[in-house]
Amino acid sequence: MGRVSDAKEKLMEAVIELLWTGSYGATTIDQICEKARVKKGSFYYFFDSKSDLATEALEASWQEKKPDLDAMFSATIPPLERLRRHCEFSYNFQAEMSKKCGRVLSRGRSA
Protein backbone atom coordinates (compact mmCIF):
# COMPACT_ATOMS: atom_id res chain seq x y z
CA MET A 1 0.00 0.00 0.00
CA GLY A 2 1.33 3.46 -0.93
CA ARG A 3 2.23 6.25 1.45
CA VAL A 4 -0.54 8.68 2.27
CA SER A 5 0.44 12.32 1.72
CA ASP A 6 -0.98 15.35 3.44
CA ALA A 7 0.82 17.69 1.03
CA LYS A 8 -2.37 18.97 -0.59
CA GLU A 9 -3.88 19.96 2.76
CA LYS A 10 -0.61 21.57 3.86
CA LEU A 11 -0.51 23.63 0.65
CA MET A 12 -4.12 24.73 1.13
CA GLU A 13 -3.48 25.75 4.74
CA ALA A 14 -0.30 27.59 3.77
CA VAL A 15 -1.91 29.62 1.00
CA ILE A 16 -4.80 30.67 3.24
CA GLU A 17 -2.39 31.89 5.91
CA LEU A 18 -0.20 33.68 3.37
CA LEU A 19 -3.24 35.37 1.81
CA TRP A 20 -4.38 36.57 5.24
CA THR A 21 -0.96 37.85 6.27
CA GLY A 22 0.02 39.31 2.90
CA SER A 23 -1.73 39.39 -0.44
CA TYR A 24 -2.41 37.14 -3.39
CA GLY A 25 -0.17 39.12 -5.73
CA ALA A 26 2.78 39.16 -3.32
CA THR A 27 2.52 35.44 -2.53
CA THR A 28 4.70 33.16 -4.65
CA ILE A 29 4.53 29.43 -5.24
CA ASP A 30 7.97 29.13 -3.64
CA GLN A 31 6.67 30.86 -0.48
CA ILE A 32 3.64 28.58 -0.39
CA CYS A 33 5.81 25.46 -0.74
CA GLU A 34 8.23 26.71 1.91
CA LYS A 35 5.41 27.51 4.35
CA ALA A 36 3.80 24.12 3.72
CA ARG A 37 7.16 22.32 3.82
CA VAL A 38 6.27 20.68 0.53
CA LYS A 39 8.44 20.31 -2.56
CA LYS A 40 7.48 22.30 -5.65
CA GLY A 41 6.89 19.07 -7.58
CA SER A 42 4.17 18.14 -5.10
CA PHE A 43 2.58 21.54 -5.64
CA TYR A 44 2.32 20.85 -9.37
CA TYR A 45 1.12 17.30 -8.74
CA PHE A 46 -1.99 18.70 -7.04
CA PHE A 47 -2.43 22.10 -8.69
CA ASP A 48 -1.80 23.58 -12.12
CA SER A 49 -1.28 27.11 -10.78
CA LYS A 50 -1.34 29.39 -7.76
CA SER A 51 -4.82 30.51 -8.75
CA ASP A 52 -6.09 26.91 -8.80
CA LEU A 53 -4.67 26.36 -5.31
CA ALA A 54 -6.09 29.64 -3.99
CA THR A 55 -9.51 28.93 -5.50
CA GLU A 56 -9.69 25.43 -4.01
CA ALA A 57 -8.34 26.56 -0.62
CA LEU A 58 -10.75 29.49 -0.37
CA GLU A 59 -13.68 27.27 -1.38
CA ALA A 60 -12.71 24.69 1.27
CA SER A 61 -12.36 27.45 3.86
CA TRP A 62 -15.78 28.83 2.91
CA GLN A 63 -17.40 25.38 3.17
CA GLU A 64 -15.83 24.92 6.61
CA LYS A 65 -17.12 28.26 7.91
CA LYS A 66 -20.49 28.30 6.11
CA PRO A 67 -22.46 26.25 8.70
CA ASP A 68 -21.37 28.58 11.50
CA LEU A 69 -22.22 31.66 9.45
CA ASP A 70 -25.58 30.21 8.38
CA ALA A 71 -26.41 29.56 12.03
CA MET A 72 -25.18 32.99 13.08
CA PHE A 73 -27.36 34.76 10.51
CA SER A 74 -30.38 32.47 10.71
CA ALA A 75 -33.70 34.24 10.19
CA THR A 76 -34.89 32.55 13.39
CA ILE A 77 -32.45 34.67 15.42
CA PRO A 78 -33.47 38.26 16.24
CA PRO A 79 -31.50 40.87 14.25
CA LEU A 80 -29.68 42.38 17.25
CA GLU A 81 -28.60 38.92 18.40
CA ARG A 82 -27.29 38.20 14.87
CA LEU A 83 -25.26 41.40 15.03
CA ARG A 84 -23.94 40.54 18.50
CA ARG A 85 -22.91 37.07 17.33
CA HIS A 86 -21.21 38.50 14.27
CA CYS A 87 -19.23 40.97 16.39
CA GLU A 88 -18.24 38.20 18.79
CA PHE A 89 -17.21 35.93 15.90
CA SER A 90 -15.15 38.72 14.32
CA TYR A 91 -13.50 39.60 17.62
CA ASN A 92 -12.60 35.97 18.35
CA PHE A 93 -11.22 35.50 14.83
CA GLN A 94 -9.04 38.60 15.07
CA ALA A 95 -7.85 37.61 18.58
CA GLU A 96 -6.85 34.20 17.21
CA MET A 97 -5.05 35.73 14.23
CA SER A 98 -3.32 38.29 16.46
CA LYS A 99 -2.06 35.51 18.72
CA LYS A 100 -0.89 33.48 15.73
CA CYS A 101 0.61 36.34 13.67
CA GLY A 102 1.43 38.93 16.32
CA ARG A 103 -1.00 41.53 14.99
CA VAL A 104 -4.59 42.11 13.95
CA LEU A 105 -5.07 41.46 10.26
CA SER A 106 -7.22 43.10 7.64
CA ARG A 107 -8.19 41.97 4.16
CA GLY A 108 -7.15 45.34 2.75
CA ARG A 109 -3.51 44.98 3.77
CA SER A 110 -0.94 44.50 1.05
CA ALA A 111 2.53 43.05 1.50
Assess whether pLDDT exceeds 90 at residue 48.
yes
pTM over cut 0.85: no
Number of Cβ within 10 Å of residue 97's Cβ equals: 17
Task: Kindly report the CATH number that applies to the domain delimited by 7-101.
Answer: 1.10.357.10
Query: Domains of the chain: which residue ranges?
Result: 7-101
pLDDT, tens digit, 9 for 90 and up, residues 49-107:
999 999 999 999 999 989 989 999 999 999 999 999 999 998 998 898 888 777 776 65
Q: Where are the alpha helices (DSSP H) in the chain?
A: 7-21, 29-36, 40-46, 50-72, 79-101
Residue 100 confidence (pLDDT): 79
Q: In the predicted model, is pLDDT for residue 11 greater than 90?
A: yes
